[in-house]
Amino acid sequence: MSIQNSLIAAGIAAIVLAVGTLIMLVLVWRTAYEPVSEPPSTASVADLWGEARIDWGAEGDVLIDASNPHAATAALGFVHGWSHPATMVLLRQAALGQMGEWFGEQALAADSLARVLGLATLAESSLQGLTIEDVAALSAYADGVAAAWAHRSIPLRQEFLLLRQIPEPWLPWHTLAVERLLYYLAADVACAPVPTFCKADRALRTLLHIHGFGGSLAWVVRDDTTTVLFQRHVYGSIAKPVFQEVTVQTGGVEDYSGASIVGTPFIVGGSNAHRSWAVLLGRDLEVAEELLAPVPRAHERIRDSQGREHLVAYARGAGRLQVAEAGDSTAWTLKWAGFNAGSDIGAWRALVSGRGPISFAVHGGVLLLMESGHSDWRVVGQPAIRLESAMGILLSRDPWAAHLTSPDSTWAEVLPWLSDLYSVYASRVLPVLLAAVDEQAVMRSSRAQSALIYLRNWDYRYERSSIGATLFAEWTQAYHSMTGDTLGITGFDERALIPALETAVRHLVTNHGPRDAEWRWGSVNPDRRHFVMARSKIGARMNSYAPRQWPGQGHGSTPRWGPTPTGASGLVPTASFEMWHVAPGGTTFGVRRRLGAKQGSSVWQPSARRDVAVVDTIPSLVIHTTILRR
């Protein structure tokens, strides 16, 4: 009998294994042959917001023609839900602190931080304090997402198949949770005094590959005839886009054009007949020691992919979070406006509509605003870098932006200049450093001697093939690690120059090989993008989710922005969205896109206005969003 039972058990195990293998093969086959993701010809939203038509451009940009603003918001929700469903669900899952249910224990630290920050709890409670119009806008956006996700092809997208998930309905307050998540990720958190909190913070940013907003900038360039607002939004190293280009018109008359943040109806930068604007997300947050406050402790439970529960404890009060005890009567505390109830949706809506006050209470970033009838600009917030001249104004949180000087020329001349790889910073600093080195009678290795030859012959351009660019960057980094200071034209420690250069060369040999040819800028500092799905068991084994990598070019100190391998976090932001408008009220709208995965080249390509064809509609109590495919 035992032998018979063993045979039966073995047979059952073989069947289970065969079924499991079959399911795996089906999943791989379905992801390899993903259903065609063309938008449906019509879609219905379960509420009376009005009619909207969406014209899809060849490059993914969209033109929305709506009967009213709420119908336009619903249509934008449809666009996000159709074109970026995986990114939306990912951001929501992270904001709710539920990444562990997808990716297991490796995501628990990120989930714990999301719960401790209260991203979901505060978002849900904030919905109650919003105006009727703000709630209506959030509801319209959610209804648009629901209309997109009702299509049968959405659950068959690769990410959902691999995760064996069907996206749950998008609720209005989910947008507020994503809003808080992005605000936090855009902030620079000085958490060094509390290593455990730093570790959790890095875990969240590393998991999502969304970080590094500090490299963003807004820049007004003007001459006698033209004023242009250029903006660059740097947002990390995620392969999936976080911004969606959109043009919205009501009744055939354009309302605005700009970049929307996926998961929200917010337009981070744009232009309409009344104004042009750029919102630079991010602020500086500091963990500081202060007296213990009577903040009640609370607990939440998070789950991993096996259904196991883990307890999370925190002490969070109005405007502050206690992240660790510092002493008997003191605690390390993080202060942030995001710990208060509320949302900036009213300010975002006022920014686009031109009606009402623009007051960002939560994110605390920087707003650059140009309004029709006014020759000057208005800056809201305190940017770290603010450069003004007769030609315009440049705002940024990135110290490298201070080196972006431009010739006194027209916008037509500046436009190609923005693709220049020349570094004014390097051209000023390197000759001084080389002169100081030449004065020192210090024994140098043969490697260091070769490095100096490359540096003396470098043309200060961060081109892909440049070895001098790599050596200069490694030299400045090594000097900073040794002294804590940044190499400048004056005030450097001459005694540390040669040791720093020797350290830089050893680092290159150790990490990139002994051959000089392996030290090219494009190889040492590639433009690398990551897929979050690589964290899943199946995604990690699929080449389609391997990191995307192109040869790097440019630098934070050059007009053509490129990855700058600096920063305490060690996370190098590579992904950016660049856009320009003739401001204000102009009809020119352009973006810089990557064309061709192999070459990784970028060009300025205007997003042309398109006429929306007249389509017969069906009288109904629902919105019929007609999708016009070009």
| Span 317-362, pLDDT tens digits | 889 999 988 888 899 999 999 999 999 999 999 999 887 778 898 9
What does the pLDDT look like over 78-119, one tens digit per residue? 999 999 999 999 999 999 999 999 999 999 999 999 999 999
Q: Please report, as a single letter, which amino acid is at residue 334.
A: L
Min mean pLDDT across 371-380, 532-541, 621-630 is at: 621-630
Q: Is residue 216 part of a domain?
A: yes
Q: Give yes or no: residues 584 and 462 share one domain.
A: no
Say whether both 206 and 283 belong to one domain.
yes
The predicted pLDDT at position 29 comes to: 45
Q: Please report, rounded to a whole number, the percentage of residues in the chain having pLDDT higher than 90.
A: 53
Each residue's pLDDT tens digit, 22-33? 444 444 444 444
Domain that holds residue 498: 424-525
pLDDT grade for 14, boundaries at 50, 70 and 90: low
Output the pLDDT for position 368.
95
Q: Is residue 176 part of a domain?
A: yes
- Which pLDDT belongs to residue 489? 67
Q: How confident is the model at residue 608 (pLDDT cuts 50, 70, 90)?
A: very low
Q: Are strands 52-56 and 623-629 parallel, antiparallel or unpaired?
A: parallel
- Does residue 239 belong to any structural domain of this protein? yes
pLDDT, tens digit (0-9, with 9 covering 90-100), for 159-190: 999 989 999 999 999 999 999 999 999 999 99
Q: How many distinct structural domains can be found in the chain?
A: 3
201-215 tens-digit pLDDT:
999 999 999 998 988
How many CB atoms neighbour CB 447 within 10 A? 17
Token representation of residue 565:
């391998």
213 shares a domain with 89 = yes
Quote the mean pLDDT of the chain: 84
With a cut of 90, say whether residue 613 has pLDDT above it: no
Strand ranges of the sheet holding 42-45, from the earlier edge strand across to the other edge: 42-45, 623-629, 52-56, 62-66, 243-250, 253-261, 267-271, 275-280, 366-371, 377-380
Task: Say whether both 92 and 15 belong to one domain.
Answer: no
DSSP for residue 224? S
Q: Are both 48 and 22 inside the same structural domain?
A: no
Range with the poorest average pLDDT among 210-224, 362-376, 480-494, 556-570: 556-570
| Confidence at residue 602, expressed as pLDDT on a 0 to 100 scale | 29
Q: Both 192 and 155 in a single domain?
A: yes
Q: What is the Cα–Cα distance from 280 to 229, expressed in whole angstroms?
A: 13
Mean predicted confidence (pLDDT) in 441-470: 92
For the chain, the straight-line distance linking the first and the last C-alpha, in angstroms and rounded, comes to 70
How sure is the predictor about 610, in pLDDT bands with cuts at 50, 70 and 90? Answer: very low
Q: Is residue 404 part of a domain?
A: no
Of 56-65, 143-152, 261-270, minimum mean pLDDT range? 56-65
Residue 446 CB contacts under 8 Å (≥ 6 apart), including other chains:
none
Confidence label for 593 from pLDDT (cuts 50, 70 and 90): low
Whether 157 maps to a domain, the answer reads yes
Q: What is the pLDDT of residue 123?
A: 97
User: Averaged over 449-477, what is the pLDDT?
Assistant: 95
- Both 13 and 118 in one domain: the answer is no
Per-residue confidence (pLDDT) for residue 365, from 0 to 100: 83
> What CATH number does residue 226 fall under?
1.10.439.10
pLDDT at 48: 61
Q: Does 86 share its domain with 136? A: yes
The answer on 87 and 223 residing in a single domain is yes
**C-alpha pair distances (Å), 459 with each of 287, 423, 426, 434, 470:** 42, 9, 9, 14, 12
Residues 6+ apart with CB under 8 A from 322: 292, 293, 295, 314, 315, 316, 331, 332, 333
For residues 62 and 536, give the distance between their C-alpha atoms in angstroms, rounded to a whole number: 32
In a domain, 440, yes or no: yes
Indicate whether 126 belongs to any domain.
yes
Q: How confident is the model at residue 3 (pLDDT cuts 50, 70, 90)?
A: low
Q: Is the peptide bond before 584 cis (omega within 30 degrees of 0)?
A: yes
Question: Do 135 and 251 share a domain, yes or no?
Answer: yes
In tens, the pLDDT along 383-421 reads 999 988 877 899 999 888 888 876 666 777 777 788 899
- Predicted local confidence at residue 626, as pLDDT: 38
pLDDT in tens, 546-578: 998 889 999 999 999 888 876 555 788 999 999
Same domain, 157 and 216: yes
Q: Give yes or no: residues 234 and 277 share one domain.
A: yes
Residue 453 belongs to a domain: yes
Q: What is the mean pLDDT of residues 458-483?
A: 94
DSSP readout, 109-164? HHHHHHHHHTHHHHHHHHGGGS-HHHHHHHHHHHHHHHHHHTSTTGGGSHHHHHHT
3-class secondary-structure state, position 582: strand
Q: What average pLDDT does this structure show over 377-387?
A: 91
For 581, the 3-state DSSP assignment is strand
**Tell me, what's the pLDDT at 491?**
79
At 581, is the pLDDT very low, low, confident or very high (cuts 50, 70, 90)? confident
